[in-house]
Chains A and B, each alone.
Chain A
């Protein structure tokens, strides 16, 4: 059984098997005409402004008071390069207390905004861990990912040099953008840039043959068993 992965034991196949048992009426309730959904996940240390960025993007408001997030979910329709799409933002907890449940969240993400505060070198250091965790969970080097230096309005308190940030982004081969949730500087840009990456990634995937996908799944399966 281990040597020859049986298609019937594959969870995906099992799902399709089970789906047959579900009544067709319920199937029709599944989103049909809904626009494409891009799942974005905000990651980064506590207090760097993930929720602030999200709320600024979603509702154009800047929240002054700090309330640690547990896990927030947002979804709205936006127009991306003339095409109506849905963006689903999962705003995660930055606090270490929730580090254990991150894996579950990361699994569903299609793209990541890895946020740190340019006034807080510790938050910048932490991006390394987040990056590693994402790569481990997604098992994909080219996952859509943006390194975001937030709080650019506090330039006088800056403690993470721009060069260092760029260097790290280059090393990871991801774009680096500086934002300010307060002044809304580059806020739309990071979300839209990320969605574009996700979109191009998806079209790449759909162009790939089915066999490729299977191969990948097979690989993944092996890992999980091992």
Chain B
């Protein structure tokens, strides 16, 4: 047995029957079932008791009156006690008084002819003390009375009447004298009641007599009546009543029927007013739809559904049907509007929400997403068709205009296409993606949890982006029209297009799209960048190819490697320009983009390949320029005097001789190999591109080959005629040879050889500068080879003549002396070989003579030898 319940708190502490009372205390039961009794002021309230916790019970007070304990009884603790008390009081219910208990509102009909039984509560007993009642002011507090007389009552008629209470309640301010007088009055009254009936009759003799008179009168009247109407008065009465009823009916039937009609009308009117909302709804829906205040419509619709959704009234059902139809129309309208593109995404979401709140069957948001995607697709295609058409139009007009102009127009059109497509993509995805996100976040109802939906959305976005990328590829990468565009315009266009795409790409990144679609766009951008790079390089290639026409043969500069024209510089400039354009336009990667020319990447390889093609084209140009023999121009095969007459600086570009061109091409090649290629390589490095080592290497090799080809060609055309003259000149002299004549000088052919060499040297040196020795050496070598050949062919019989031998030795020695600076090992070998066929000198005298002749030759030929040896690299 646990501790008994103790009630220590009551809220509120007083109230009329039915007051909701919160009882607090301790040990008020361990569970609902533990509570087995609750009495408030003695009234059992267990029925209404709600057990909340062991400290709290909520109940309703019973019909008790007065102050009393709250006794809780539990199975576990038995009957409890209370430290606080509840006071119940009755309220007289008035029309303005709030009441917690049910009171019949309709008052019972007051019958004017009937008698209302007097309510006992309104019965006010006469003042027993015969004292005038005092005012209500200064009333004795009722609570204190309750405290003083816990079981008492102040009512005279009650069993537990307490005189003290009564006195305190009614006469707390009455003086003792008055009270004594009252006591006397009361005693007298009691006394008079004790005296009995006789005294009562005595006191009321007049009244009794009067009553008797009345009774007699009544009896007389009754008898008279009976005489008049017989024993049975009722039938005649009934007939009279019935007649009066009929009369009354006939009198009132019209009025009543009119009243009925009026009532009905009134009823209908009140019905209309009461359900004004419903009846006016169709109209108001129309109005609100016109005003586009769909929220109001939805609200009204929901309200009407709640209010009349389950109505059985035919009229209401009819109106509801009408409303439903309107709502269906509205749904249809909203649906179409939601689907109709273009539409602001906020507005679309608004429509979706409206559709959702209108219980549109179907997944509104999903439809919206789909329609948005379809719109995007169709927009893309439309953009494409539009610009295609425009482009074709441009081209069809091209007979009116120049091709170039048309092409620049076309490129502009493509640029606009690109911009429009980018704009469309970013704008539409900008709308579509947040919509989808909200959809999948569950904000827009539907079935976002469907697994297929996610995949479908992904497919949609990828499809859209792929379409975009396809279009961009057709638009930008398969460009045919931009071939003839000026380079600046091309660059501007490229940069603009790239910027458009990057902006769109940037937008997509901002949208936080998944990486797959982003990568597709990135790929397009990347490809376009590669395309741009290719374009620039191809452009440069083309320009390099066109260098042939640019060649003026004007010597721009005398470098360490000889005189060069502007070709190497132009090559460098073109390459440099292309590289800078690449660097400026396409190399710089944007956000989340790959490096264009990553080491070892496909684009880098392509770039190197293109560069190689470019450089090789240059080589081809050089080769073409060098070796293309113009029919009108003959190789200048004239002798020294002619060669010397030609002044290099004066030569007009087109009048430059072929061999000079050859030589210039050679030096150009040489210079390019040595200087320009290094510069180009450096330029690549400076722009941060991977070094085109392979291309440079290949070009170097090609240039070397070209140089040798040029040298050979030169030799062929220059050396062969020179060598050819030797034999004839030699033979010419030999016929005149006198066997006895003292030989004091070489034959003229020697001088001719030397002169020719000088002419070659002059020519080569004029062009090649320091590099000229190569050509001279080659010529010398050929000459020596020829001499050796001639020496070998010389008939042995002639060698017998010492004079001839001396002569030959002298000539070879002189040649050796003259060309000593230019002799390669091979050439020297040839000379030695030639000398070896000549018998040696016989005596010292001969030798001395030869030496003196050689010395004389040196003295005489000092100028010639100097000119031959000037500006020479030593071997």
**A-side interface residues toward B, CB under 8 Å?**
1, 6, 8-9, 11, 14-15, 18-19, 21-22, 26, 29, 51, 55, 58-59, 61, 69-76, 86, 88, 90-91, 104, 107-108, 224
Known A-B contacts: A73-B10, A73-B85, A74-B10. Give 10 more (CB < 8 A).
A21-B163, A22-B149, A55-B24, A59-B9, A70-B12, A71-B14, A72-B10, A72-B22, A73-B84, A224-B138
Give residues of chain B (373-426) contacting chain A, Cβ–Cβ below 8 Å.
Answer: none
Interface centre among B11, B140, B150, B175 (most CB of A within 10 A): B11
Please give, as numbers and ranges, the residues of chain A lying within 8 Å of B84 by CB-CB distance: 73-75, 88
Please give, as numbers and ranges, the residues of chain B lying within 8 Å of A74 by CB-CB distance: 8-10, 24, 84
- 13 A-B contacts (beta carbon < 8 Å): A8-B176, A11-B168, A18-B167, A55-B9, A59-B9, A73-B11, A73-B84, A73-B85, A74-B10, A75-B9, A75-B84, A76-B8, A88-B84
Q: Tell yes or no: B595 within 8 A of A by CB.
A: no
A9 B173 Cβ-Cβ under 8 A: yes
Q: A61-B55, A75-B84, A86-B83 are in contact. Are A26 and B11 (CB under 8 A)?
A: no
A58 B24 Cβ-Cβ under 8 A: yes
Please give, as numbers and ranges, the residues of chain A lying within 8 Å of B11 by CB-CB distance: 51, 69-70, 72-73, 91
Please give, as numbers and ranges, the residues of chain B lying within 8 Å of A70 by CB-CB distance: 11-12, 15
Interface centre among A9, A11, A75 (most CB of B within 10 A): A75
Please give, as numbers and ranges, the residues of chain B lying within 8 Å of A8 by CB-CB distance: 176
Please give, as numbers and ranges, the residues of chain B lying within 8 Å of A104 by CB-CB distance: 141, 143
Shortest distance in angstroms between B204's beta carbon and chain A's nearest beta carbon?
36
Shortest distance in angstroms between A94's beta carbon and chain B's nearest beta carbon?
13
Residue in B9, B24, B150 whose beta carbon sits within 8 Å of that of A29 in the complex: B150
Q: Tell yes or no: B164 within 8 A of A by CB.
A: yes
A14 B168 Cβ-Cβ under 8 A: yes
Q: Tell yes or no: B249 within 8 A of A by CB.
A: no
Q: Tell yes or no: B862 within 8 A of A by CB.
A: no
Please give, as numbers and ranges, the residues of chain B lying within 8 Å of A73 by CB-CB distance: 9-11, 13, 84-85
A72 B168 Cβ-Cβ under 8 A: no
Shortest distance in angstroms between B307's beta carbon and chain A's nearest beta carbon?
31
Please give, as numbers and ranges, the residues of chain A lying within 8 Å of B10 by CB-CB distance: 72-74
Please give, as numbers and ranges, the residues of chain A lying within 8 Å of B13 by CB-CB distance: 71-73, 90
Q: A18-B148, A59-B24, A61-B55 are in contact. Are A72 and B12 (CB under 8 A)?
A: yes
A51 to B164, alpha carbons, bound, how many Å?
Answer: 37
A59 to B52, alpha carbons, bound, how many Å?
Answer: 14
Q: Looking across the interface, which residue of chain A has its beta carbon closest to that of B53? A: A61
Q: Tell yes or no: B151 within 8 A of A by CB.
A: yes
Sorted from nearest, which 7 A-B pairs have the closest CB atoms? A18-B164, A72-B11, A73-B13, A75-B83, A74-B9, A70-B12, A76-B8
Q: Looking across the interface, which residue of chain A has its beta carbon closest to that of B149? A: A22
Please give, as numbers and ranges, the residues of chain B lying within 8 Å of A224 by CB-CB distance: 138
Interface size class of B (residues with CB under 8 A): 20 to 34
Please give, as numbers and ranges, the residues of chain A lying within 8 Å of B140 by CB-CB distance: 11
Please give, as numbers and ranges, the residues of chain A lying within 8 Å of B148 by CB-CB distance: 15, 18-19, 22
Q: Looking across the interface, which residue of chain B has its beta carbon closest to that of A9? A: B175
Q: Tell yes or no: B686 within 8 A of A by CB.
A: no
Interface centre among B9, B149, B175, B176 (most CB of A within 10 A): B9
Please give, as numbers and ranges, the residues of chain A lying within 8 Å of B83 by CB-CB distance: 75-76, 86
Q: A72-B11, A75-B83, A91-B11 are in contact. Are A14 and B151 (CB under 8 A)?
A: no
Residue in B8, B12, B163, B168 whose beta carbon sits within 8 Å of that of A15 in the complex: B168
A84 to B165, alpha carbons, bound, how many Å?
Answer: 34
Please give, as numbers and ranges, the residues of chain A lying within 8 Å of B9 by CB-CB distance: 55, 58-59, 72-75
A150 to B15, alpha carbons, bound, how many Å?
Answer: 29
Please give, as numbers and ranges, the residues of chain B lying within 8 Å of A108 by CB-CB distance: 143
A107 to B141, alpha carbons, bound, how many Å?
Answer: 10
Residue in B55, B141, B150 whose beta carbon sits within 8 Å of that of A59 in the complex: B55
0/1 per residue, B2-45, Cβ < 8 Å to A?
Answer: 00000011111111000000101000000000000000000000
B8 A69 Cβ-Cβ under 8 A: no
Shortest distance in angstroms between A76's beta carbon and chain B's nearest beta carbon?
4
A14 to B11, alpha carbons, bound, how many Å?
Answer: 33
Shortest distance in angstroms between A67's beta carbon and chain B's nearest beta carbon?
9
Q: Looking across the interface, which residue of chain B has its beta carbon closest to that of A59? A: B55
Please give, as numbers and ranges, the residues of chain A lying within 8 Å of B173 by CB-CB distance: 9
Please give, as numbers and ranges, the residues of chain B lying within 8 Å of A76 by CB-CB distance: 8, 83
Shortest distance in angstroms between B168's beta carbon and chain A's nearest beta carbon?
6
Residue in A9, A22, A88, A91 whose beta carbon sits within 8 Å of that of B164 in the complex: A22
Q: Looking across the interface, which residue of chain B has its beta carbon closest to that of A76? A: B8
Q: Tell yes or no: B172 within 8 A of A by CB.
A: yes
Shortest distance in angstroms between B729's beta carbon and chain A's nearest beta carbon?
121
Please give, as numbers and ranges, the residues of chain B lying within 8 Å of A22 by CB-CB distance: 148-149, 162, 164
A22 to B151, alpha carbons, bound, how many Å?
Answer: 11
A141 to B173, alpha carbons, bound, how many Å?
Answer: 28
A147 to B138, alpha carbons, bound, how many Å?
Answer: 32
0/1 per residue, B164-183, Cβ < 8 Å to A?
Answer: 10011000110110000000
Shortest distance in angstroms between B669's beta carbon and chain A's nearest beta carbon?
87
A86 to B85, alpha carbons, bound, how many Å?
Answer: 15
Q: Looking across the interface, which residue of chain A has its beta carbon closest to that of B171? A: A14
A18 B151 Cβ-Cβ under 8 A: no
Please give, as numbers and ranges, the residues of chain A lying within 8 Å of B24 by CB-CB distance: 55, 58-59, 74
Give residues of chain B (53-83) contacting chain A, Cβ–Cβ below 8 Å.
Answer: 55, 83
A88 to B84, alpha carbons, bound, how many Å?
Answer: 8
Shortest distance in angstroms between B310's beta carbon and chain A's nearest beta carbon?
34
Shortest distance in angstroms between A96's beta carbon and chain B's nearest beta carbon?
17
Q: Looking across the interface, which residue of chain B has its beta carbon closest to that of A107? A: B141
